[in-house]
Amino acid sequence: MDLTYSEPHRALQAEIRELARTHGHLSPKQGGGRRRPDARTLAWQRLLVERGYVGRTIPREYGGHGAQPDVLEAAIIADELARAGLYPGIMSQGISMLVPTLLEVGSEEQRRRWIGPTLRGEIIWCQGYSEPGAGSDLASIRTRAVVDDGHFVVNGQKIWTSSAHYADMMFLLCRTEPDRPKHAGLSYLLVSMSTPGIEVRPLVTMTGRAEFNEVFFTDVRVPVDQIVLGRGDGWHVANLTLKHERLMLGDPSKLVHRVERIAELMARAGVDGERSIDRPELRDRLLRLQAEVLASRCHHLRLLTQRARGEDPGLAQTIVKYFGTTLGHRLSALAVDVLGAGGLAYEPRGEAAEDDEATTWQIDYMYDVGLMIGGGTSQIQKNIIAERGLGLPREPRAAPGRS
């Protein structure tokens, strides 16, 4: 246990503070992420990539910064950007899920082609896994692809596909080997969303906005070299991305920032002139959640240390998504309660403009439930924690679920 910063760490800290001073005004506002990045966001993202605050350990030849892995650097970057109120970079399925997956199992050509532009926010990806008949039981998907003249020809339907309405590319899980057992018959394809035969129909979510979609495939032709690993390896590749998705969804940086925002909200006088922070029952809830966010941050540092030492984090890693998304929802629930009846006006402004404070919290409060469902539901996470983390017996007879 050693929580001191080394000289290079202090230098990194100073460097980011300097960036905040000289370039802070260029940062887009926090939030967003549910729309295509605008010019301001793209410029900021490019700056973060150049400085190595995004894609820090990704090799230079793939468009990253090529730094050695270091336990603390990512945490320092997140902390310092948050402290200065700066946008921490685009959080997207492409950056958080596909990039690490390609680094692990992508071909050299795939890494060179996709990682750089994805990091810079130029290529937006969506995740084509869920289908009407296959959610938790992901391996039962039916969208199929057959090989014809150097192409996979895809037919079928995906659903709940976030960002598909503005994405450039999809990482698609489909069935290519129908004669093999359920899990062994899948393949993982990288598909351009502008390919003829793809139709995207936005679905309005409970927040009132179009956030995810149905995607229909009719004879969609994908070059055979756009497969990651080989035919039948799709389940393996999809599980790698899901591991990264779960870590992304449980990332504590966002939660730390939320505690600060709620404390600030509570310290302002409400409509009745009273401050929530002076109300013992509301303040107690804030403190309770602050302890858990602190725990989640410490846990994150512990996982980073384990990874740096090459130890198997086992159980500790399996709880991240369930813990983080549940905690996130309890935080937005407190914000909604603090706003009270005064927070019931709900006026989402769409993609073009910033939402007001109350609307933002109400959206988060609802969206957080979505996060508890997406990426493997809380119940599925608990199965994973109990079976893989604690070694309890697997479900008898039931087919293995989304994992």
Partner 1 sequence: MEFGLSDTQRLFERALRNVLAGHVPLDALHRLPASGADLDAKLWAALTELGLPGVLVPETFGGAGLGTFEAGLAAEALGSFAAPAPFVGAAVMAPLAILRAGREAAQAAWLPRIAAGTARVAVALAGLDAAAGSTSVQRHGERLSGRLDQPIDLAGATHVLTALADGTIALVALDAPGVRVTLRASLDRTRPLGEVALAEAPAEILTAGDDGRRVAAAMLAAGRAMLAADTLGAAQTMLDRAVAHAQQREQFGRPIGSFQAVKHLCADMATMLEPARALVWHAAHAQDGRDDARLLACHAKAHLGEVGREVARMATEVHGGMGFTHELGLHYWFKRIGSNRQLLGGPEQCRREAAALQGWGTT
Closer to ligand FAD by CB, 184 or 373: give it. 373
Q: What angle do CA 41, 105, 399 make, to 5 degrees?
A: 100
Q: How many residues does the chain have?
A: 403
Catalytic site includes residue 260: no
Neighbouring-strand partners of residue 161: 213
Q: How far is the CB of 95 from ligand FAD (least distance, A)?
A: 14
Interacting partner of 394 out of ligand FAD, partner 1, none (Cβ under 5 to 8 A depending on kind):
partner 1
Of the candidates 142, 243, 134, the one whose C-alpha atom is nearest the C-alpha of residue 186 is 142
Which residue in the list 73, 131, 211, 245 is annotated as catalytic? 245
Type and span of the H or E element at 382:
helix 378-384
Q: How far is the CB of 212 from ligand FAD (least distance, A)?
A: 5
Q: How far is the CB of 86 from partner 1 (least distance, A)?
A: 22
Closer to ligand FAD by CB, 62 or 367: give it. 367
Those residues whose C-beta lies under 8 Å from the C-beta of residue 66, and which sit 6 or more positions away, are 57, 58, 59, 60
Those residues whose C-beta lies under 8 Å from the C-beta of residue 378, and which sit 6 or more positions away, are 322, 325, 326, 372
Interacting partner of 63 out of partner 1, ligand FAD, none (Cβ under 5 to 8 A depending on kind):
none
**Cβ atoms of residues 378 and 320 within 8 Å:** no
Closer to partner 1 by CB, 203 or 386: give it. 386
- Per CB under 8 A, residues contacting partner 1 are 1-6, 9, 71-72, 263, 266-267, 275, 277-280, 283-284, 286-288, 290-292, 294-296, 298-299, 301-302, 304-306, 309, 315-316, 319, 322-323, 379, 381-383, 385-387, 389-396
Interacting partner of 391 out of partner 1, ligand FAD, none (Cβ under 5 to 8 A depending on kind):
partner 1
Interacting partner of 161 out of ligand FAD, partner 1, none (Cβ under 5 to 8 A depending on kind):
ligand FAD
Q: How far is the CB of 158 from partner 1 (least distance, A)?
A: 28
Those residues whose C-beta lies under 8 Å from the C-beta of residue 193, and which sit 6 or more positions away, are 126, 164, 167, 168, 169, 170, 200
Residue 234 buriedness (CB in 10 A; 0-12 / 13-18 / 19+): buried
Closer to ligand FAD by CB, 285 or 402: give it. 402
Closer to ligand FAD by CB, 39 or 398: give it. 398
**Cβ atoms of residues 121 and 37 within 8 Å:** yes
Interacting partner of 195 out of ligand FAD, partner 1, none (Cβ under 5 to 8 A depending on kind):
none
Strands 186-192, 169-175: parallel, antiparallel or unpaired by DSSP?
antiparallel
- Per CB under 6 A, residues contacting ligand FAD are 126-130, 135-136, 160-162, 212, 370, 373-377, 379-380, 383, 398, 401-402
**Alpha-carbon torsion angle 375, 380, 385, 391, nearest 10:** -140
Shortest Cβ contact with ligand FAD: which residue?
A: 135
- Active-site positions? 245
